[in-house]
């Protein structure tokens, strides 16, 4: 497992500093929450880590590798995968085919080999299907593998997007508001899914989420940002009781239960 560290990260859009000198570290094997009000810079930070945005200054390291200026595909090959706030599935494909698309990068063939239908091509495709079905079992989606992804209820679509990210075989998983749109029971179930996949696949997870019950109940550590700056870090209980956090984001009371 590999650590993630950000050092003095800045992102400017014209005269606006969306991220202003953010530094924090995500330790291997932990679930790390990244929280803050709307517009605090959380998704911008995610987009920098995954290569969709180039920071104006500062650096991002994944283990001993500087990934600040790498492309999204290069970052994915290093073992970083993400989900999105708005589910980004191939909605017209089946559930199984969504995972097979994600597994494509692990299939070592070529146009000539595929055209000749060489035996190892069929073997690799069979391995890809087996891996995909294993993930569907883990995410409790095995019974819907032939259904069109866009026809699934939201809770199942969220699980499918998580499965698709896991199909990339990451060591670091970035989750952008995974509980958005879920009801209380679905959120509790999803929290347990995250615990299970973290343990099963030996993952490090960085989580952006507005559901404080989920964040406080599942995170080992939390970083809080506001107006693009880090205002608090620490264990969930410490962050929950920090006056600056209460003032900036959580309000006067925190109704955080354990999912």
Question: CB-based contacts of 127: which residues, under 8 Å, 6+ apart?
Answer: none
pLDDT at 146 over 90: yes
Structure-token match 């063939």, residue found: 109
Q: Per residue in 46-91, pLDDT tens? A: 999 999 999 999 999 999 999 999 999 999 999 999 998 888 898 9
In this prediction, residue 257 carries a pLDDT of 46
Q: Report all structural domains of the chain as residue ranges with CATH numbers, in order of start.
A: 4-79+170-250 (3.40.50.300)
Q: What is the pLDDT of residue 101?
A: 87
Q: pTM of this prediction?
A: 0.86
Contacts of 190 (CB under 8 A, 6+ apart): 155, 158, 159, 178, 179, 182, 214, 259
Q: What is the pLDDT of residues 90-100, one digit of tens each?
A: 899 999 999 98
Q: Strand, coil or helix: what is 11?
A: strand
Beta carbons within 8 Å of 59's beta carbon, 6+ residues apart: 6, 7, 8, 9, 66, 68
Q: CA 167, CA 156: separation in Å to the nearest integer? A: 16
Q: Are strands 221-226 and 31-35 parallel, antiparallel or unpaired?
A: parallel
């Amino acid at each position: 497992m590999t650590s993630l560290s950000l050092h003095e990260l800045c992102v400017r859009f014209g005269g606006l500093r969306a991220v202003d000198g953010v530094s924090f570290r995500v330790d291997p094997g932990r679930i790390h929450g990244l929280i803050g009000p709307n517009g605090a810079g959380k998704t911008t930070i995610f987009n920098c880590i995954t290569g969709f945005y180039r920071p104006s200054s500062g650096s991002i390291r994944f283990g001993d590798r500087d990934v600040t200026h790498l492309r999204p595909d290069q970052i994915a090959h290093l073992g970083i995968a993400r989900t999105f706030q708005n589910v980004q599935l191939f909605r017209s494909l089946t559930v199984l085919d969504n995972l097979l698309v994600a597994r494509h990068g692990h299939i070592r063939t070529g146009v000539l080999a595929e055209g000749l239908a060489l035996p190892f091509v069929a073997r690799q495709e069979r391995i890809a299907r087996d891996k995909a079905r294993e993930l569907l079992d883990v995410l409790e989606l095995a019974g819907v593998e032939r259904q069109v992804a866009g026809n699934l209820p939201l809770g199942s679509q969220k699980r499918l997007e998580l499965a698709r990210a896991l199909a990339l075989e990451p060591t670091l998983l970035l989750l952008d508001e995974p509980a958005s749109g879920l009801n209380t029971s679905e959120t509790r179930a999803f929290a347990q899914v995250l615990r299970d996949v973290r343990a099963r696949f030996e993952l490090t997870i960085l989580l952006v989420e507005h559901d404080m019950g989920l964040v406080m109940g599942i995170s080992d550590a939390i970083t809080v940002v506001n107006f693009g700056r880090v205002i608090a870090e620490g264990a969930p209980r410490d962050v929950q009781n920090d006056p600056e956090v209460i003032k900036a984001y959580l309000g006067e009371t925190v109704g955080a239960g354990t999912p």
